[in-house]
Amino acid sequence: MDVRIEESWKKRLQTEFDKPYFKELTDFVRNEYRTKRIFPPAKLIFNAFDSCPFDDVKVVILGQDPYHGMGQAHGLCFSVNDGVEIPPSLVNIFKEINRSLGKPIPTSGNLTRWAEQGVLLLNATLTVRAHQAGSHQGKGWETFTDAAIKILAEEKVNLVFILWGNYAQRKGAFIDSSKHLVLKSVHPSPLSAFRGFIGNNHFVLANEYLRSHGIKEIDW
């Protein structure tokens, strides 16, 4: 199947695109966009990959579902478009960056600038119905994103995988921590952020690891 996605990713993921599950997933997603309000806009489904080519990836942050409110999702996990109110989890992410690195809290929740520096902001599920969290789970996206993570973990070395919450930690359980830095903590949501997210130092630790391997750190 011919899928519009950044070329370095297309080359590595072509075997997934040719599998029966991906054809079924594509048929489902196309029908959903035809008949319902779906986020993100169709052209941004693969934005995480398009914004961060395979060879540029330094850090992987795993999310679960796209935001399901109007105008929020644009294909990067935890990120929202400019001008959209910053969601609570992202507020806590910015608070931890402010606490640990002293950087001012941004006025925009658009994380494209991270992606352009080599941070793959990948949700496990790449589409969702408006106002229905989890509505596209179990349709095949998880298989596809597992394959992308596996290719990264096997083909590259010295990546930083950031796994917040049980869901992300289960999804990244196979990553070899002798080849990569795997950072785990509770999720930044308001329900858990003050039980170990604030104070996890993940942004500091990620940059220290990158520096120690001669890789340019991220300007969080």
Closest CA to 33 of 44, 49, 17: 44
Query: H-type helices in the chain, by residue range?
Result: 7-17, 20-35, 47-50, 88-101, 112-115, 141-155, 165-171, 202-212
Active centre residues (catalytic): 65
Tokens 């594509």 belong to: 26
The radius of gyration of the chain from alpha carbons, rounded to an integer in Å, stands at 17
Main-chain phi, psi angles of 141, to 5 degrees: -60, -40
Q: Identify whether the C-beta of residue 86 lies closer than 8 Å to the C-beta of residue 109.
A: yes
Closest CA to 38 of 63, 83, 70: 70
56 class by beta-carbon count within 10 Å (0-12 exposed, 13-18 middle, 19+ buried): middle
